[in-house]
Amino acid sequence: MTSRPPLPPFTRESALQKVRAAEDAWNTRDPVRVAGAYTEDSRWRNRAEFFSGRAAIVAFLTRKWSRELDYRLIKELWAFGEDRIAVRFQYEWHDDSGQWYRSYGNENWEFDAHGLMRWRQASINDVPITEADRLFRWTAPGPRPQDHPGLSGLGQ
C-alpha cells in the first residue's frame, strides 16, 4: 500500500507539513496528483456535493479547475488530533468573464494509518473581488513561494 508521510498520529510539526503538502499539490491544479493523496474510497463533501472515490475526485477537480481559472490557494493549520486535521483556507480565481473571486473556507480531514485522507469536508464561500484586491500573486500553476506570506501574514 502507498504511504503519504507524514503519518498519524500527528504532532504540530507533522500537521503543518501535511497542510503545506496539500496546499502545494492543489496549486499544481493536477487532478490525478491531488487524488493520489486520498484513499481509493475517500468520502468528500465539497460545498453541496457529496461523492466518494478517486475517480470522482479527479472528475470533480477537473470540472472545478475548468471554471476556476488562474487558481491560487493558501491553507493554514487550524487544529489537529491523532488522525485529524482542520484547516482554514482562501483561494483566488477568476471566471471566464474575468471576474475575480476570493473563496474562503474550512476543511476537516481524517487520515488512515498510511497518511492517505479518507474523509474530507469543505465549507466554502465566494466573494467577488477586483483584480487590484488580489493578494495571491505568484506564478501559477505551482506552489506558493516560501517567501510569500500565509493567511495570517497577509492579515487574513
Is position 127 within any domain?
Answer: yes
How many other β-carbons are positioned within 10 Å of the β-carbon of residue 16? 16
pLDDT at residue 104 is higher than 90: yes
Is position 25 within any domain?
Answer: yes
Is position 113 within any domain?
Answer: yes
Which residues sit opposite 38 in a β-bridge?
A: 117
Q: Quote the CA–CA distance of 73 and 92 in Å, as a whole number.
A: 7
CATH code of residue 39:
3.10.450.50
Find the domain containing 36 and state its range.
12-133
pLDDT (tens digit, 9 = 90+) per residue, 24-34? 999 999 999 99
- What 8-state DSSP symbol labels residue 146? T
Is position 119 within any domain?
Answer: yes
The share of the chain scoring above pLDDT 70, in percent, equals 99
3-state secondary structure of 21: helix
Is position 21 within any domain?
Answer: yes
Is position 71 within any domain?
Answer: yes
Is position 46 within any domain?
Answer: yes
Averaged pLDDT, 130-139: 97
If one counts the domains in the chain, the total is 1
Averaged pLDDT, 11-36: 98
Looking up cell 516560501 gives 146
Averaged pLDDT, 119-140: 97
The share of the chain scoring above pLDDT 90, in percent, equals 99
Mean pLDDT of the chain: 97
pLDDT (tens digit, 9 = 90+) per residue, 41-100? 999 999 999 999 999 999 999 999 999 999 999 999 999 999 999 999 999 999 999 999
